[in-house]
Amino acid sequence: MRILSGIRPTGNLHLGNYFGAVKNFVRLQEENECFFFIADYHSLTTHPTPEHLNNNVKQVLAEFVACGLDPEKATLYIQSDVPETIELYLFLNMNAYLGELERVTSFKDKVRKHPNNINAGLLTYPTLMAADILIHHADKVPVGKDQEQHLEMTRTFANRFNRMYKTEYFKEPEAFNFGAELVKVPGLDGSGKMGKSEGEGNAIFLIDDEKSISKKIMRAVTDSGPTEPNQTPPQAIQNLFSLMDIVSAEDTVKFFRESYANCSIRYGDLKKQLAADMNIFIEPIRERIQSVASDELFLSKVAATGREKARASASKTIQEVREIIGFKTL
């Protein structure tokens, strides 16, 4: 089975990225033909500086490898190293209509949140995502809830191309669901999932040092404590327990849950324990990231290997698509 997924290089990977994506990618590469890419074209919608763009791409590549993605087992590449994707993006845009693009939920959200940055890249984000997927004829695509509509549009664009040119060239990619194996990681701000867009204080990054981890966790949102035995913890407190479930020993989690249930819990003690356990979990990953990131020659080889493999797949697709459309060498 051919599986494809990408991550935008908008900063360091955090614990949510690790458990929500990368850890599962490592498992998938053992049994499938996998394409994992760094979506630097997609990141241009937020206008990063050249320095930030380049540094972020290198950092995410190092973090991918440090977390266990193997360039010999999976095709690990940088999106902008495969120009064929942009040619397919152009072809798909010719048959994508303004009304359907404007109705995309994520586009409407961006318009509402960032009214001064409504650019064409945001509008046509679904066609670029479709090009990413279709250029490699992916069978399955691991997507979150916010990306399901984009995947549905990928199927729409694939079918529209097939109907227009009377072919069955593109197949319909399906969503890949990790099911019970997917660990949802909450943020530290007391609300929803861990993410970069909610601010750095909301996320624990894989590169964070012990001091940063402790500082963030000690500042995590709590309340004044339980007022009666066995009451249901509010979201902010449940988030801390959920983080403990991920990094702490079972008896440690049990102790603090029981302390909450009998109203004897001290949040300061809980946070100190969580910070210590979080650092023990993050430390070996952090050290591997630092080691890989410092070896620029190795990273260049990883990028070159991925570029060669990805372009071999993409160039075959784009040549066949050009022939289907009617482009001929005269």
Give the chain's mean pLDDT: 92
What is the per-residue pLDDT for 1?
Answer: 93
Q: What is the pTM of this model?
A: 0.88
Q: Are residues 282 and 310 in the same domain?
A: no
CATH number at residue 220: 1.10.240.10
Answer yes or no: are the C-beta atoms of 25 and 66 closer than 8 Å: no
Q: Are residues 317 and 274 in the same domain?
A: no
Please return the burial class of 282, using the count of CB atoms within 10 Å of its CB with bins 0-12, 13-18 and 19+: buried
In a domain, 177, yes or no: no
Q: Are residues 32 and 161 in the same domain?
A: yes
Q: Are residues 264 and 306 in the same domain?
A: no
- Look-up: residue for tokens 């760094």? 38
Q: Are residues 107 and 147 in the same domain?
A: yes
Q: Are residues 10 and 151 in the same domain?
A: yes
Q: Are residues 17 and 125 in the same domain?
A: yes
Query: Which letter does DSSP use for residue 34 in this model?
Result: E
Average pLDDT for 242-253: 94
- Look-up: residue for tokens 């990368």? 22
- Per the structure, the complete domain to which residue 14 belongs is given by 2-172+295-325
- Pick 205 or 10 by higher pLDDT: 205
Nearest to 141 by CA among 120, 155, 127, 161: 155
Is the pLDDT at 145 greater than 70, yes or no? no
Q: In which band, very low, low, confident or very high, does the pLDDT at 197 lie, cut at 50, 70 and 90?
A: low
What is the per-residue pLDDT for 143?
Answer: 76
Query: Which letter does DSSP use for residue 2 in this model?
Result: E
Q: Are residues 19 and 125 in the same domain?
A: yes
Per-residue pLDDT tens digits for 38-71: 999 999 988 999 999 999 999 999 999 999 999 9
In a domain, 209, yes or no: yes
Q: In which band, very low, low, confident or very high, does the pLDDT at 19 lie, cut at 50, 70 and 90?
A: confident
In a domain, 253, yes or no: yes
In a domain, 182, yes or no: no
In a domain, 86, yes or no: yes
7 three-state secondary structure: strand
Q: Which residues contact 25 (CB under 8 A, 6 or more apart)?
A: 5, 34, 36, 69, 74, 142
Q: What's the domain count of the chain?
A: 2
- Within a 13 Å sphere around the CA of 133, how many CA atoms are in the beta-carbon half? 30
In a domain, 330, yes or no: no
Please return the burial class of 46, using the count of CB atoms within 10 Å of its CB with bins 0-12, 13-18 and 19+: middle
Through-space distance between the first and last CA atoms of the chain, rounded to whole angstroms: 38
Average pLDDT for 209-230: 93
DSSP string for residues in 103-171 = T-HHHHHHHHH-TT---HHHHTHHHHHHHHHHTTT-SEEE--GGGHHHHHHHHHHHHHHHHHTT---S-
In a domain, 204, yes or no: yes
Instruction: State the Cα–Cα distance between residues 12 and 109, nearest whole angstrom.
Output: 24
What is the per-residue pLDDT for 314?
Answer: 98
In a domain, 178, yes or no: no
Is the pLDDT at 179 greater than 80, yes or no? no
What is the per-residue pLDDT for 195?
Answer: 79
Residue 34 β-bridge partners: 3
What is the per-residue pLDDT for 142?
Answer: 87
Q: Are residues 256 and 167 in the same domain?
A: no
Q: Which of 196, 272, 309, 316 is catalytic?
A: 196
Q: Are residues 138 and 212 in the same domain?
A: no
Residue 6 β-bridge partners: 37
Biggest CA–CA distance in the chain, Å, is 82
What is the per-residue pLDDT for 274?
Answer: 96
Per-residue pLDDT tens digits for 120-138: 999 999 999 999 999 999 9
Q: Which of 73, 171, 193, 272 is catalytic?
A: 193
Assigned token pair, 188: 């530290």
Q: Are residues 85 and 210 in the same domain?
A: no
Q: Are residues 25 and 128 in the same domain?
A: yes
Is the pLDDT at 181 greater than 60, yes or no? no
Any catalytic annotation for residue 196? Answer: yes
CATH number at residue 110: 3.40.50.620
- Pick 201 or 13 by higher pLDDT: 13
Any catalytic annotation for residue 171? Answer: no
